[in-house]
Amino acid sequence: MTSVNQDKQAKEKDSYLDMELLRFTTAGSVDDGKSTLIGRLMYDTKTIFEDQLEAVERSSKQRGDENVNLALLTDGLRAEREQGITIDVAYRYFATPKRKFIIADTPGHIQYTRNMVTGASTANLAIILVDARNGVIEQTCRHSFIASLLQIEHVVVAVNKMDLVDWSEERFNEIVDDYKDFASRLDIPQITFMPISALLGDNVVSKSENMPWYQGSSLLYHLETVYIGPDANHVDARFPVQWVIRPHSNEWHDFRGYAGKVAGGVFKPGDEVMVLPSGFTSKIKAIHSHDGELEEAFHPHSCAITLQDEIDISRGDMLVKPNNKPRVEQEIDCMICWFSEKRKLKAGDKLFIRHTSREVKAAVKSVQYKVNVNTLHKVEDEPEVGLNEIARIHLRVASPLFVDEYSRNRITGSLVLVDPFTHETLAGGMIRAL
Partner 1 sequence: MHKSYTVTHLEHLESEAIFILREVAAQFQNPVLLFSGGKDSIVVAHLAKKAFWPAKVPFPLMHVDTGHNFPETIEFRDRFVADMGARLVVASVQDSIDQGRVVEEKGPNASRNGLQTVTLLDAIEENNFDAAIGGARRDEEKARAKERFFSHRDDFGQWDPKNQRPELWNLFNGKMNPGEHFRVFPLSNWTEMDVWQYIKRENIDLPSIYFSHKRPVIERGGTIMAVTDFITVQDDEEVAEKVVRFRTVGDATCTGCTESAANSLDDIIAEVAAARQTERGTRADDRRSETAMEDRKKQGYF
Site residues (CB under 6 A) for ligand GDP, limited to 139-168: 160-161, 163-164
> Considering CB distances under 5 to 8 angstroms, the limit depending on partner class, which of partner 1, ligand GDP, none binds residue 290?
partner 1
> Considering CB distances under 5 to 8 angstroms, the limit depending on partner class, which of partner 1, ligand GDP, none binds residue 213?
none
> Considering CB distances under 5 to 8 angstroms, the limit depending on partner class, which of partner 1, ligand GDP, none binds residue 33?
ligand GDP
Residues contacting 13, CB < 8 A, separation 6+: none
Write each residue from 340 to 379 as x if it is in contact with ligand GDP (CB under 6 A), else as -, in one continuous string. Answer: ----------------------------------------
Choose, by CB under 6 A, the member of 33, 264, 265, 316 that binds ligand GDP: 33
Q: Whole-angstrom Cα distance, residue 105 to residue 99? A: 18
Choose, by CB under 6 A, the member of 41, 42, 56, 71 that binds ligand GDP: 71
Q: Whole-angstrom Cα distance, residue 65 to residue 56? A: 11
Choose, by CB under 8 A, the member of 84, 177, 185, 243 that binds partner 1: 243
Q: Within 10 A of 127 (CB to CB), how many other CB atoms are there?
A: 29
The helix/strand/coil state of 425 is strand
Nearer to ligand GDP, 92 or 370 (CB): 92
Which span (24-32, 159-167, 178-186, 348-356) binds partner 1, by CB under 8 A?
348-356
Choose, by CB under 6 A, the member of 22, 24, 35, 118 that binds ligand GDP: 35
428 binds ligand GDP (CB under 6 A): no
Write each residue from 359 to 388 as x if it is in contact with partner 1 (CB under 8 A), else as -, in one continuous string. Answer: ------------------------------
> Considering CB distances under 5 to 8 angstroms, the limit depending on partner class, which of partner 1, ligand GDP, none binds residue 79?
partner 1
Choose, by CB under 8 A, the member of 30, 31, 45, 59 that binds partner 1: 59
Q: How far is the CB of 44 from partner 1 (least distance, A)?
A: 15
For residue 125, the number of C-alpha atoms closer than 13 Å in the C-beta half-sphere is 26
> Residue 45 burial by CB count (10 A; 0-12/13-18/19+): exposed, middle or buried?
middle
Nearer to ligand GDP, 105 or 236 (CB): 105
The helix/strand/coil state of 213 is coil
Amino acid sitting at position 137: I
Residues contacting 251, CB < 8 A, separation 6+: none
Angle, alpha carbons 343-349-353 (nearest 5°): 90
Q: How far is the CB of 185 from partner 1 (least distance, A)?
A: 25
Residues contacting 103, CB < 8 A, separation 6+: 23, 24, 25, 26, 38, 41, 91, 92, 93, 94
Write each residue from 186 to 225 as x if it is in contact with ligand GDP (CB under 6 A), else as -, in one continuous string. Answer: -----------xxx--------------------------
282 binds ligand GDP (CB under 6 A): no
Binders in 32-51 for partner 1, by CB under 8 A: 49-51
The helix/strand/coil state of 132 is coil
Q: Whole-angstrom Cα distance, residue 22 to residue 41? A: 14
Q: How far is the CB of 74 from partner 1 (least distance, A)?
A: 8
For residue 173, the number of C-alpha atoms closer than 13 Å in the C-beta half-sphere is 7
Alpha carbon separation from 327 to 265, 366, 400, 402 (Å, rounded) = 16, 21, 9, 6
34 binds ligand GDP (CB under 6 A): yes
Q: Whole-angstrom Cα distance, residue 307 to residue 281? A: 10
28 binds partner 1 (CB under 8 A): no
Residues contacting 24, CB < 8 A, separation 6+: 101, 102, 103, 104, 123, 124, 125, 126, 127, 223
Question: Strand 272-276 to strand 99-105: parallel, antiparallel, or no bridges (unpaired)?
Answer: unpaired
Write each residue from 292 to 331 as x if it is in contact with partner 1 (CB under 8 A), else as -, in one continuous string. Answer: ------xxxxx-x----------x----------------
Write each residue from 268 to 297 as x if it is in contact with partner 1 (CB under 8 A), else as -, in one continuous string. Answer: --------------------xxxx------
429 binds ligand GDP (CB under 6 A): no
User: Taking each helix axis from N to C terminus, what angle separates 138-149 and 169-183, rounded to the nearest 10 degrees?
Assistant: 50
Query: How many residues bind to ligand GDP according to rule CB under 6 A?
Result: 16
Q: Give the footprint of ligand GDP on this chain (CB under 6 A).
A: 28, 30-36, 71, 160-161, 163-164, 197-199
